[in-house]
Amino acid sequence: MEQVVIYNGSIISFRQNLFGAENRGFRYGDGLFETIRVMNGEPCFFNKHFQRLLKGSEFLYLSDNKDFTEAKLYNQIKLLLAENQ
């Protein structure tokens, strides 16, 4: 099975080009990521990871996205775990 990612709310192949040279992260090298360990199908310490993502997004002035919620991110992680087994 081919591995997938969620990009702008859509499940796509991890091989697909995600952005072009006009992307701010590509041009300036700024970005935000979090590595989350998963045990028995559950993300470990998820709340702490989410809080760290919020702080990082505020620092980078990315905090105006009201659609970024703890529940939505958790559900997307669970969906990706199921899709990428």
With CA atoms as reference, report the closest residue to 74 among 54, 49, 56, 39.
49
Domain count, the chain: 1
- Give the span between the Cα atoms of 48 and 34, in whole angstroms: 11
- Give the span between the Cα atoms of 36 and 68, in whole angstroms: 17
Residue 63, domain CATH: 3.30.470.10
Task: Render pLDDT for 52-80 as a digit per residue (tens, 0 to 9).
Answer: 999 998 888 876 777 889 999 999 999 99
Residue-number span of the structural domain to which 65 is assigned: 4-83
25: alpha, beta or left, given left = phi > 0 and alpha = psi -120 to 50? Answer: alpha
pTM of the model: 0.82
The whole-chain average pLDDT of the chain stands at 90
What's the distance, CA 49 to chain centroid? Answer: 11
